[in-house]
Amino acid sequence: MQTNNEVELVNQILLKDQQAYTEFIHRYQAVVFNVAWRMLGIREDAEDAAQDTFLRAFRFIKNFDRTRPIVPWLKQIAVNVCFDRLKRIPEEQPLEEDTLPYPDPAPGPETQASQRLRRERIHLEILKLPPRYRAVIELRHFQELRYHEIARVLNRPLSDIKSDLFRARKLLAAALQELNTGKSV
């Protein structure tokens, strides 16, 4: 349920109040940027995607159900914006070393790796997944949507969503296993 403040902000945006636009962006830009960051992994791309997310949100804000919370709606738009961007990149194109957000660390025992390095490594593994796997991981694990909700957001059959999610997890779990045993990923 939205707070009155949020409803008022949306109402002001519908009245084309410039201050309301600015306040709306300031309030939610970090949340939207983080969705894009997790899915794209490149700061400039994530910032561009966040901008596109707000532009799309403003275009469709008149359709927004004001009894619902706004953050999940914005996050779902962000996933679709990122997914559309990723679809434009050929799927077989491997993730290039210089486009990775962190340097691919040298293999070594997990016990020596810092916690930060380990988290960066997990993010790297997410970024190596095909776009549709990334989208379902984002929606299930970071936005905590149920299967049928993910299917609705991505406009895809429920069976595809489950299959993609389970395969994505299998790939990530395998990478995690290799990380734990100190093998190169």
Give the one residue of 8, 95, 170, 182 binding other proteins; rule: CB under 8 A: 170
Q: Is 116 exposed, middle or buried (0-12, 13-18, 19+ CB in 10 A)?
A: exposed
Measured from the CB of residue 87, what is the shortest distance to other proteins in angstroms? 10
Angle, helices 18-40 vs 115-127, to 10°: value is 90
Cα separation, 81 vs 89, in Å, equals 13
Q: Which is nearer to other proteins, 61 or 130 (CB)?
A: 61
Residue 173 is encoded by which pair of tokens?
A: 């779990």
Q: What is the DSSP letter of 182?
A: T
How many whole angstroms separate alpha carbon 49 and alpha carbon 45? 6
Strands (E) across 15-162 are located at none
Q: Contacts with other proteins in 29-48 (CB under 8 A)?
A: 29-30, 33-34, 37-38, 43, 46-47
Per-residue contact string for residues 69-98; x = within reach of other proteins by CB under 8 A: ---xx--xx--xx--x--------------
Ranges of H-type helices in 15-67:
18-40, 43-60
- Tell me if 146 contacts other proteins by CB under 8 A: yes
Q: Which residue has the tokens 């738009």?
A: 77
| Number of residues counted as binding other proteins (CB under 8 A) | 57
Residue type at 181?
T
Query: Binding marks (x or -) toward other proteins, 109..138, rule CB under 8 A?
Result: ---------xx--xx-------------x-
Residues of the shown chain interacting with other proteins in the complex, contacts defined by CB under 8 A? 18, 21-22, 25-26, 29-30, 33-34, 37-38, 43, 46-47, 50-52, 54-60, 63-65, 68, 72-73, 76-77, 80-81, 84, 118-119, 122-123, 137, 140-142, 146-147, 149, 153, 155, 162, 165-166, 169-170, 172-173, 176-177
